Structure 1
Amino acid sequence: MRSLLPCTRRLALVLLAGTAVTAHAGPLESLEEFVRSARSGRAEFTQVVTAPGRDGQAPRTRRSSGTFEFQRPDRFRFVYREPFAQTLVADGQTLWLHDVDLNQVTARKQAGVLASTPAALIAAAPDLQAIRRDFELLALPDQGGLQWVQATPRNREGQVASIKVGLRGDALAALDILDSFGQRSVLTFTGFQLNPALAADTFRFTPPKGADVIRQP
């Protein structure tokens, strides 16, 4: 499977939402209001992944884009349009990854792969106290017109080393994710819709006919 796929598994488990915040709220207060208010969302996304160079080579950069939808608790869909067509769906029980070009589907138990990830930080936790059970939170200085909160997983054995959450006004604008391999993924979001009514089958996934289905623990 092409080299983009493992990166997608690690870093594409990202959810987006937006919420109204007070004009002078600090980063932690903005994050708390965002977590409290966002029940569902829809947006366009761009993801830039930078991997460390090896043997003195320059870092490698890959760019992808697509659409994203989510609904609490623990349901989301990423549709990657470029550079390769892929679909990532969490239906509450199973995490499905479909590589369209290869017609290959990977299925994993959702509970075993989302802990201490951006999905757990943004989509599952009902309040800031729940987030603090899994993450150490630190308010960072404003940068690039955004408020920033750094979330470091308390479980240091996972694949995510740290997550920076960027908020602009009433919306979550960016996620900056560093994994344990030194690979960085920056996601930016546009055209966000807060709490839209999503179709019931948005988060259902049925492997296409003839697809090679790989089931992992």
Structure 2
Amino acid sequence: MRQRIFPLLCSLLLLAAMTAIAQAAPSDIVSGIRKRYDSLQNFTATFEQTLTHKESGNVEKRKGTLRFKKPLLIRWETEAPTPETLVVTEKEIWDYLPDEELAYRYPPDLVQDSRSIIQVLTGQSNLDRDFDLAEEGREGGLRKVRLYPKDPSPQMVEALIWVENDYLIRRADIIDFYGNHNAVRFVDFKSNSGVPASVFSFTPPKGVEVEDRREKDAVPERELFN
């Protein structure tokens, strides 16, 4: 009887240990991401973005570059299929649409929410405070983690991130209230590459119409980074 009970007991103990490791994994990822991005002062990345509209089934693919510098300076330039430049500073946000010869000016608080895709992609979201996490194994060599906002917004009811072994976020997929997906994948990533502050300055070209929407409770003409 002892010979049968011992292997069974070992199996149960091993299963319990594996379960504990699986439950602890998101905490390990959270602390790893926090430490990694605490040491990250800036980065430059090229990205591929896929926007999927659930109701119509339409899929739009974009590509461009992202430059980031702490605390939250952003230059997001979409190159194709339609050019767009988004510049985030401590004082304002610029959304420049060259083909329309139009630039919108917004207050910076529009991107200071942890549930913003740009906060997630740059590792600035407060994961342990604002989300419940569930690890879903590996995909393409990356650790896959599902995020559930504790206070969902129409722009994010669920999200996925894919994390490298060095705890850098390489992919993210933001799902909104309507089931639409905003998926971004970094093709190339260079950390602490010395991005100058001048990259994050923006002056509308001559002849471009400017719509200033920095007043309180401003609503973007279009969802930023989407």
- Cα deviation, residue 153, structure 1: 2.4
Could you tell me which of 39, 62, 65 is aligned with 2:63? 65
2:73 corresponds in structure 1 to 75
- Cα deviation, residue 140, structure 1: 2.6
* In structure 2, distance between residues paired with 1:108 and 1:28: 31
User: Where do 5+ consecutive residues of structure 2 fail to align?
Assistant: 1-26, 219-226
- In the alignment of these two chains, the number of paired residues is 186
Between structure 1 and structure 2, the one with the greater Rg is 2
Could you tell me which of 42, 47, 50 is aligned with 1:48? 50
2:94 corresponds in structure 1 to 96
Query: Given the superposition, is the C-alpha separation of residues 172 and 123 from structure 1 closer, same or farther in structure 2, using an over 3 Å criterion?
Result: closer
AA of the residue aligned to 1:41: F
Q: Is the 8 A contact 1:28 1:139 kept in 2?
A: no
Cα offsets for 1:5-39 (capped at 9, x unmatched):
xxxxxxxxxxxxxxxxxxxx953344233332222
Could you tell me which of 184, 188, 197 is aligned with 2:185? 188
Q: Residue 84 in 1 paired to residue 86 in 2? A: no
Q: Residue 208 in 1 paired to residue 205 in 2? A: yes
Q: Is the 8 A contact 2:111 2:118 kept in 1?
A: no
2:16 corresponds in structure 1 to none
- Cα deviation, residue 160, structure 1: 1.5
Superposition pairs of residues 1-217 of structure 1, within 5 angstroms: 26-54=28-56, 59-115=57-113, 116-123=115-122, 125=124, 130-170=126-166, 171-216=168-213, 217=218
- Cα deviation, residue 158, structure 1: 4.1
- Cα deviation, residue 106, structure 1: 1.3
AA of the residue aligned to 1:40: N
AA of the residue aligned to 1:187: V
User: Where do 5+ consecutive residues of structure 1 fail to align?
Assistant: 1-24
TM-score after normalising by structure 1:
0.77
AA of the residue aligned to 2:39: S
Name whichever structure is richer in strand by fraction. 1
Query: Given the superposition, is the C-alpha separation of residues 121 and 197 from structure 1 closer, same or farther in structure 2, using an over 3 Å criterion?
Result: same
- Partner of 1:202, secondary structure, is helix
AA of the residue aligned to 1:146: L
- Cα deviation, residue 188, structure 1: 0.9
Query: Given the superposition, is the C-alpha separation of residues 151 and 49 from structure 1 closer, same or farther in structure 2, using an over 3 Å criterion?
Result: same
* In structure 1, distance between residues paired with 2:31 and 2:74: 25
More RCO (CA 8 Å, sep 6+): 1
- Partner of 1:101, secondary structure, is helix
AA of the residue aligned to 1:42: T
- Partner of 1:201, secondary structure, is helix
RMSD: 2.2
AA of the residue aligned to 1:33: K
AA of the residue aligned to 2:110: G
